[in-house]
Structure 1
Amino acid sequence: MSAQIKDWNDIRVAYEVAKRGTLSAAAEALNVHHSTVLRRISALEESLNTRLFHRHARGYVPTDAGKMLLGVAEYLEDDLERLFGQLQGIDQQLSGNLVLTTVSSFVPLLAPLLREFQDLYPNITLDLLVEPRRLKLEHGEAHIGIRPGRAPEEPDYVAQRISPLASSLFASKSYVERYGSLTDLSQINNHRFVSGSRSLHHLPFLNWIKEQVPPERIFYQANDVWAMYQGIRAGLGIGLMSNWAASQDQEIVIPQPLNIEEPGTDLWVVTHRDLHRTSRVQAFLEFFKEAIKKQQRLLLSWDK
């Protein structure tokens, strides 16, 4: 039966003894008691069924078998040092293509973060697919989905809730100058509203418009959230905007005095389980979650 090494640390201990010549010097280098060094040397010799050292009054001298083993240990140490150096620089060595998908309304927030990500990982190329529909990660249409809305229900997806996203009613300054502000529910029939078309009715943040505003008071609808925001900015009516998006347009849009119970929505980052642990995906997920934490205040509240 071939010999079995029960603990590879025993080889490291033997290597230190061979380099330094005494149990006490090896023990000091390893920061252990000299009796631990003696016990490990004995255990290694027993597992290999051979003597590795000649014991002398002056110290320990490797036998021929010991020289063979310790020569290999020296190569292993050199290889490990090179490996550790390579691992420390692996972030810069990550390369290849990463395909992301999101919705148009999130691009202004995402684009600066992608620049920061590429500063960290300059050899990773990025493809951003802006789609209102959810791409099929299981078919390889994208590696990572960044989506506001409800939690994905696909069983093979790994979905992580990154942040809540708050929304409020906003109108352009030009609209308010023309029609006034919305201060009370009784004024709804005196105002014009902007909303999403049927394809966006699955978004929770639009529920207030659907439930409170008569269809005849909705004068502009869009099948894209960003296009809906542009309608609000242009003065087509009052509508719901994410607080983050509105904060980028403070010279144009202003919040309405009417406080509403708006359910908001959540921001999700989604991967397929087959790709979730790959190095590029993990590098982006770690970066993105930390980056969004720094943006949390803007995502949750209107910040004048």
Structure 2
Amino acid sequence: MANFNWDDVKIAHQAAKLGSLSKAAEWLGVNYSTVLRRIEQLEKSLECKLFIRHQRGYQLTDAGRQLLTCLPEIEMRFAQFHTNLTALNSEIKGTLKITTLPEYSSFLHPILLTCQQLHPDLRLRVDVSNDIVPLETGSAHMSIRACEAGDMQADLIATKICSLNYSYYAAKSYVERRGLPQSSADFKNHSWVMPSGRKQNISFVKAINQQLDIQHISYQSNHFFDIQSAVEHGIGIGPIDDEKVPANSSLCKVSSIECKNNNHLWCVYHKDLRDDVKIQAVTQLIKAQTNQL
């Protein structure tokens, strides 16, 4: 494969994914002729056609479809290769990428401050998201996750930060208007503020959802801090982390609902990065913070 250029492969893949050379040019910020030239250059290097011109534009050949299928896995392996190489560095410097849930990102703040003081050459980049970032791809080095112990992947090393204890609450203003449910038979007479998306699979959420019709749910959100705000404003009854209820709060716990709390907060990283000095430095700080909790 003489004159093979990896950038040409990525340009061709973008054109295959978008189904149009002009769309690929727009997405890449180059002109159409550049995309066409780079694809023709790649086809010459590979000695096979990736696209066939027809009346409606460009159509993928079998080789082009193979490119569309295989490149994401190749890119993932390159990202993991880069991550493994950086793990060999014995100096605590560079960038460490951490993903965390929105509700628990503040847990990291004192840790990051201490890390900044102890390791001034280490840059920490925190991505806050409800999505589970697959650590094996190298997209992130560490993650703060909430799940049951049995849900943890076998290739991850996990440190338990704390147990998560949720209860159902209602604002005093709501209680004054509607009262509180005395049993599950009374649930249909109340308005509910419930999690959406993946959080609907949490045990204490699923248990209540199974007893509700959709018209009983007045508000849904995929963020627990948003749910807490909605409950505090009297919109309805909803689950809140007991640790996040202020001491002087006007929230009233619903005693007729007993939550099954099986979830814990974890710090996790891939087993292939167990020797990464950056990860070990931050993990030690997280463990110290956990002991204080």
Determine the structure 2 residue equivalent to 1:242.
241
Describe the SS at the equivalent of 2:157: strand
Q: Relative to 1, partners in 2 of residues 1:205 and 1:154: Cα closer, same or farther, differing over 3 Å?
A: same
Supply the distance in 1 between the matched residues of 2:167 and 2:217 (Cα, whole angstroms): 17
TM-score (ref. length: structure 2): 0.61
Determine the structure 1 residue equivalent to 2:162.
163
Describe the SS at the equivalent of 1:201: helix
Determine the structure 1 residue equivalent to 2:120.
122
Supply the distance in 1 between the matched residues of 2:124 and 2:239 (Cα, whole angstroms): 31
Determine the structure 2 residue equivalent to 1:172.
171
Per-residue deviation at 1:240? 0.8
Supply the distance in 2 between the matched residues of 1:222 and 1:263 (Cα, whole angstroms): 20
Report 1:53-202 matches (<5 A). 94-151=92-149, 152-202=151-201
Supply the distance in 2 between the matched residues of 1:203 and 1:122 (Cα, whole angstroms): 39
1:271 aligns with 2:233: no
Supply the distance in 2 between the matched residues of 1:186 and 1:216 (Cα, whole angstroms): 16
Determine the structure 1 residue equivalent to 2:279.
281
Determine the structure 2 residue equivalent to 1:211.
210
TM-score (ref. length: structure 1): 0.59
Per-residue deviation at 1:114? 2.7
Determine the structure 1 residue equivalent to 2:227.
228
Supply the distance in 1 between the matched residues of 2:284 and 2:115 (Cα, whole angstroms): 10
Is the 8 Å Cα contact of residues 164 and 261 (structure 2) preserved in structure 1? no
Per-residue deviation at 1:252? 4.6
> Which has more radius of gyration?
1
Per-residue deviation at 1:265? 0.9
Report 1:1-20 matches (<5 A). none
Gaps of 5+ in 1: 1-92, 296-304
Amino acid at match of 2:283: L
Amino acid at match of 1:180: G
Per-residue deviation at 1:291? 0.8
Amino acid at match of 2:216: R
Supply the distance in 1 between the matched residues of 2:121 and 2:173 (Cα, whole angstroms): 46
Supply the distance in 2 between the matched residues of 1:204 and 1:124 (Cα, whole angstroms): 38
Superposed CA RMSD: 2.5
Structure 1 runs, 4 residues or longer, greater than 4 Å off: none
Supply the distance in 2 between the matched residues of 1:173 and 1:185 (Cα, whole angstroms): 20
Q: Relative to 1, partners in 2 of residues 1:137 and 1:100: Cα closer, same or farther, differing over 3 Å?
A: same
Q: Percent identity?
A: 28
Instruction: Give a deviation string over 1:196-238, Cα, whole Å, max 9, x none.
Output: 1243223233123223333331111112333323322222111
Supply the distance in 1 between the matched residues of 2:123 and 2:109 (Cα, whole angstroms): 14
Is the 8 Å Cα contact of residues 194 and 217 (structure 2) preserved in structure 1? yes
Per-residue deviation at 1:170? 1.2
